Amino acid sequence: MKTAFLFPGQGAQTVGMGKDIYDNYEEAREIYKKAEEISGIDVCKLCFEGPEEELMKTENTQIAILTTSLAILEVLKKHGVKAETTAGLSLGEYGALIYGGYLSFEDGIKLIQKRGYYMGNLLPQEKYSMAAIIGLDSRKIEEVCDQIRNRGKFVVPANYNCSVQTAISGTSEAIDIAIEELKLAGAKRAIKLQTSGPFHTEKLQQASEAFAKELEKVEFKKGNDVKVIKNINGEIYAEKDNLKEILAKHIISPVRFDKAIENMKSQGITRFIEIGPGKVLTGFVKKDYPEAEIYNINSLESLQTIIK
């Protein structure tokens, strides 16, 4: 049976995440300790105690989620649980790149700390939000967003999550307009998300350029035998790929997790394990690949179930 590891993105965070695993596994504690030494951030306090408003800040969310995912991954590795392929959503791609051997743990933590800071702070001076649009074809969503943009309001598709869900990003005003118009166009539901920036849109150009300079300081490796799927197009990273260019572009490009699911399905992967808080990604897989086996590791109990 072929297995894929999935790493969650922003919005999956909850106060208390990872605490029971931290308490029970020395290797998990080591990961949190290393992340704190590298970043200078009290990641344990952020993850386990919050407060929620601090955990919700992009500069904190990204490092907190990645550290939690990598702590769980370390326990899985110790117990011989492996995957042939891996993918993540937005910041989750860094967990995938570390598992795939392209990026060291230390460089991954340093990069995600800078990425979170730039994405949270280098923003145009407007109020932004995101919303998940459910039950409407992505082409129709693109069409409605284009119509709203033609009226001078900024909103675009940002995350193509699966065939029946696309997240849109834009100014708060444009998001409210889009929600109403997309419902009229046939969307079953529209849900505002726990994010505050115009992520994966052209509005983060300044953040992308600042992050490109951080990427230049990092030496990426050749990778191991694990296939790592890119967010920007759902294809597997190849030896010829310029990772620095791709990861800088990643910040301003839509996430194509829908294409990643198609790719993993075509590889014959039948088991998907989401590593970290929440169960969003396996939810997307289930929509487009209902026959797949799906697991979430977001608690001590779910971790021990997989190990057994």
Give the residue from 112, 278, 256 showing the smallest Cα distance to 194: 278
Beta bridge partners of 91: none
Residue by residue, DSSP assigns 136-194 as S-HHHHHHHHHHHHTTT--EEEEEEEETTEEEEEEEHHHHHHHHHHHHHTT-SEEEE-S
Q: Report the SS3 class of residue 291.
A: coil
Give dist(CA 269, CA 266) in Å, integer: 8
Tell me, yes or no, if 208 is annotated catalytic.
Answer: no
Give the residue from 123, 126, 127, 169 showing the smallest Cα distance to 148: 169
Give the residue from 201, 204, 248, 214 showing the smallest Cα distance to 93: 248
**How many CB atoms sit inside 10 A of residue 126's CB?**
13
Tell me, yes or no, if 79 is annotated catalytic.
Answer: no
Query: Is the peptide bond preceding residue 51 cis, with omega within 30 degrees of 0?
Result: yes
Helix ranges (H only) for the chain are: 19-24, 26-39, 43-49, 52-55, 58-78, 92-99, 105-121, 138-149, 172-184, 205-215, 243-250, 257-266, 280-288, 300-307
- Per the structure block, which two tokens stand in for 81? 């649980």
Beta bridge partners of 160: 166, 256
Catalytic residue among 90, 129, 208, 253: 90
Catalytic residue among 69, 169, 196, 200: 200
So which residues are the catalytic ones? Answer: 90, 200
